[in-house]
Amino acid sequence: MSYKRSSFLLILIAPSGGGKSTIGDRLLEKETDLVYSISSTTRSIRTGEKNGEDYYFLGEKEFLEHRAAGEFIETAQVHGNWYGTSRSIISSRLAEGKNILLDIDVQGALNILKQGIECVTVFILPPHQEILERRLIDRKTDDAATIELRLSNARKEIDYIKEFDYLVINDDLETAVAEVRLIIAAEQLRSVRYKNVKEEYYRSENA
């Protein structure tokens, strides 16, 4: 049976340190039809990161030139750094029939929703603020002032949870990954994603 199903953009949203990148990595290992959309950023590259794999690392001038040219579907300035999602990457991967994974912050996700871009949004939240703080400390990438800024932003971001389709509590990683996979499976089965059901149904019957 060759029913054609349209692909979709899956957005994981979380406060900094909420675990969206870790969950995203697990999903990419398990979901063969899911590909990652690499964002651009002006922040400094961290130890272990690679340009073109984790992010496209750009200078601020270059980033703003791309932004002015309309090359991003969304941009956001977070913790003093710019982040943006490439319009051409999203369009080309959807055209290939791939589901696209994007992990961004609340501001970026809201910008996408305001444009009316079809997507599936999942808010990832640690069970308690203390756990979020511990995760930020344990990853050892930020100083105390930056961690406090991230926690302050997280308290504001939680107010937007109801703007998104799904909420997954990231208490146990494997459980959280399994729950997002259930969301993917359900979204793939939505009838509106199937474009040629009638034609294929009668073709198989008359074959």
Q: Is residue 75 part of a domain?
A: no
**φ, ψ of residue 194 in degrees (nearest 5):** -95, 125
**Count of structural domains, the chain:** 1
Summarize pLDDT for 134-192 with one digit per residue, the tens.
766 666 666 777 767 676 777 788 889 999 999 999 989 999 999 999 999 999 999 88
Q: Is residue 187 part of a domain?
A: yes
**What pTM was estimated for this model as a whole?**
0.81
Summarize pLDDT for 114-140 with one digit per residue, the tens.
988 889 999 998 877 766 667 666 666
Q: Is residue 72 part of a domain?
A: no
CATH number at residue 201: 3.40.50.300
Q: Is residue 86 part of a domain?
A: no
**Statement: residue 27 has pLDDT above 70:** yes
**60: CB partners within 8 A, 6+ apart:** 42, 82
Q: Is residue 53 part of a domain?
A: no
- In this predicted model, which residue has the larger pLDDT, 204 or 61? 61
Q: What pLDDT was estimated at residue 173?
A: 92
Binned at pLDDT 50, 70 and 90, residue 205 comes out as: low
CA atoms within 13 A on the CB side of 45: 13
Query: Percentage of residues in the chain with pLDDT exceeding 90?
Result: 49
Q: Is residue 154 part of a domain?
A: yes
| Residue tagged 């756990």 (tokens) | 131
Full domain range(s) for residue 142: 9-37+98-206
Q: Is residue 175 part of a domain?
A: yes
Q: Is residue 128 part of a domain?
A: yes
